A and B are shown apart, each in its own frame.
Chain A
Amino acid sequence: MNGSDNPEVNKLVAHLFRHEAGKMVAVLTRLFGFRNIEQAEDIVHDTLLKALETWKYGAVPENPQAWLYRAAKNKAIDLIRREQVKYKIDGEMAYLLKSEYTLTSTINELFTENEIKDSQLRMMFACCHPSLSQEGQITLILKTLCGLNVREIGSAFLSNEDTITKRLYRVKEKIRTENFALDYPGADAMKDRTEAVLKTLYLLFNEGYNSSHPEKLIREDLCEEAMRLTILLTENEKTNLPQTNALLALMCYQVSRFTTRLDEKGLIVLLQDQDRTKWTKFLIEKGNYYLSQSATTRDKHDFHLEAAIASVHANSPSYEQTDWPILLSLYDQLLHRAGNPIVALNRCLVYAEVEGYEKAIEELENLEGLNDNCYYYAALGELYLKNGNKDMASEQFTKALEFTSSFAISELLARKLELC
């Protein structure tokens, strides 16, 4: 009962279970082979459950992580001894597991810090296998590396549990039938696969940052997970590429504004109204650091441009003092490469600050492909409002309302309508 004497010591590190779950699943999957990922997930679930059932009656051990690893190792060894014949272990170290002599030492070795990181990276690459759909990749990453369960993934993506369960089933079916390996791709495929991993992390981050979730605008957890995995990529020489650093810089800048994006009532505060003194300086500095780390190549990646844009905003002392011409040139480059209508939309807002509202409205009105996009009408409304045309502004804001299910965005539009 000594634990209850000193409850302060008992406070667990935030998300310890979730993060350790991700690590242990990666390690155990490497041990058993990718096709046996469900065995790995079961062991991890049982391990955490055992921790909960043991710790709650008294004390959390001094080193909870070591406790978890010991329990998981024992369960893994038990399983291998028991089912050695019945079920085929086909991981890279299968031969080491078949002999009692090397079994324990192999497993101990896998649970060291470097090997855990390596297993997580392998898992990241395996999850981004080109045979899997983009949403399949993200779902698999959240399930295996981030320790989210089906219900949590469903709520992050506004899908129901059934959809996610089916999606995961299809993904795992594919892993089995195509016999994926939990390994880095060969040298020739490494570049493309790294690109796929970065893109998936980028989408995961955006899902958290621009979430269309009606209740909660910012799904901070998803952003945090995406950052955690990107940092992991910068810690390995194979994946510490200029674009990895650019992506991480972008994430740092975005997250630095988290605290000011919503007011105390949970309503959206636009960039121009945000209290810049409340932006997280530490993260802006981190962003600047990673951006400078990313500048080791002449090949610019989209992430370089996006990070540079975020950097201009993050480092500008006020909205009015923003270096709009530089932003416009960055957006022009981005648009030239990506040609995506959302980029074009954002470019128009910058264009407005450089060339005036009237010209920007004209460009925006001619923009195609965003006819059912809430932000498109909101942006148009904003430009009309700034240009003094309240009737047109009101029309656009009303239209924008039709295309959103988010409470926070609807509230913002309602406030805008009051100004018209």
Chain B
Amino acid sequence: MYLFRNGAEGQSLSPEAMQAHMQKWMVWMKTLGEKGVLAGGEPLEQTGKQVTGTKKVVTDGPFTEAKEIVGGYLIVNAKDIDEAVEISKGCPVFDVNGRLEVRPVHKMEM
């Protein structure tokens, strides 16, 4: 699973630059689709709730700075984490100085 964080640069793009960035994502997603590695993914809303502790205190939002918020996730099929890392290197998120976290999804043996 890839978790995406945009970085500050991604927050300050001009409309034209945003569109150009978007175009790159489309190309990248297309190559993932063609390679057959893409298994799913979704954007995440910027807002949310936090529920904490035994008292189940509910507060607003992820609370972190905008550039630290996880913007979305993708699930790819890879034989191991090295391959997943390799695949991730073409991702446009790096063009805007963003960050991508690669986490293996643990498959439960049923």
Measured CB to CB, the residues of A under 8 A from B are 1, 3-5, 7, 10-12, 15-18, 20-21, 48-58, 60, 147-149, 151-152
A52 CB → nearest B CB, Å: 5
Cβ B29 vs Cβ A3 within 8 A: yes
Known: A3-B29, A4-B29, A53-B72. A18 touches B16 (CB 8 A): yes
B59: interface (CB < 8 Å) = no
Known: A3-B29, A4-B33, A7-B26. A57 touches B42 (CB 8 A): yes
Cβ B21 vs Cβ A58 within 8 A: no
Cβ A1 vs Cβ B19 within 8 A: no
Q: What are 11 sample pairs from A and B whose C-beta atoms fall under 8 A apart?
A: A1-B41, A15-B19, A17-B15, A17-B19, A52-B18, A52-B22, A53-B71, A55-B25, A58-B42, A60-B26, A152-B14
A5 to B74, CA, bound (A): 15
Cβ B43 vs Cβ A57 within 8 A: yes
Cβ B38 vs Cβ A4 within 8 A: yes
Interface centre among B29, B33, B38 (most CB of A within 10 A): B29
Known: A3-B29, A57-B41, A57-B72. A18 touches B23 (CB 8 A): no
A18 to B16, CA, bound (A): 5
Closest 9 pairs between A and B when the two form their complex, measured CB to CB: A149-B14, A4-B33, A56-B25, A17-B15, A17-B19, A21-B15, A7-B30, A147-B15, A18-B15
B47 CB → nearest A CB, Å: 11
CB-CB < 8 A to B40: which residues of A?
1
A151 to B16, CA, bound (A): 12
Interface centre among B11, B18, B43 (most CB of A within 10 A): B18
Fill in one digit per residue for B5-32: 1 if any A CB lies within 8 Å of its CB, else 0: 0100001011111110111011101101
Q: Which residue on B lies nearest to A3, using beta carbons?
A: B29
CB-CB < 8 A to B33: which residues of A?
1, 4-5, 7
A94 to B19, CA, bound (A): 33
Cβ A147 vs Cβ B30 within 8 A: no
Cβ B38 vs Cβ A147 within 8 A: no
A5 CB → nearest B CB, Å: 7
Cβ B22 vs Cβ A55 within 8 A: yes
A17 to B17, CA, bound (A): 9
A157 CB → nearest B CB, Å: 15
CB-CB < 8 A to A57: which residues of B?
29, 41-43, 72-74
Q: Which residue on B lies nearest to A16, using beta carbons?
A: B19
Cβ A49 vs Cβ B11 within 8 A: yes
A254 CB → nearest B CB, Å: 23
Partner of B19, one of A7, A12, A151, A152: A12
A51 to B22, CA, bound (A): 9
A142 CB → nearest B CB, Å: 11
CB-CB < 8 A to B72: which residues of A?
53, 56-57
A148 to B15, CA, bound (A): 7
A80 to B40, CA, bound (A): 37
A52 to B16, CA, bound (A): 11
CB-CB < 8 A to B23: which residues of A?
11-12
A8 CB → nearest B CB, Å: 9
B66 CB → nearest A CB, Å: 9
CB-CB < 8 A to B26: which residues of A?
7, 10-11, 56, 60
CB-CB < 8 A to B15: which residues of A?
17-18, 20-21, 48, 147, 149
CB-CB < 8 A to A58: which residues of B?
29, 41-43
A11 to B13, CA, bound (A): 20
Q: Which residue on A lies nearest to B21, using beta carbons?
A: A52
Fill in one digit per residue for B43-59: 1 if any A CB lies within 8 Å of its CB, else 0: 10010000000000000
A8 to B88, CA, bound (A): 23
A16 to B6, CA, bound (A): 22
B103 CB → nearest A CB, Å: 16
A1 to B26, CA, bound (A): 12
Cβ A17 vs Cβ B18 within 8 A: yes
Cβ B22 vs Cβ A56 within 8 A: yes
Cβ B41 vs Cβ A15 within 8 A: no
Partner of B16, one of A7, A60, A152: A152
A49 to B67, CA, bound (A): 12
CB-CB < 8 A to B18: which residues of A?
17, 48-49, 51-52
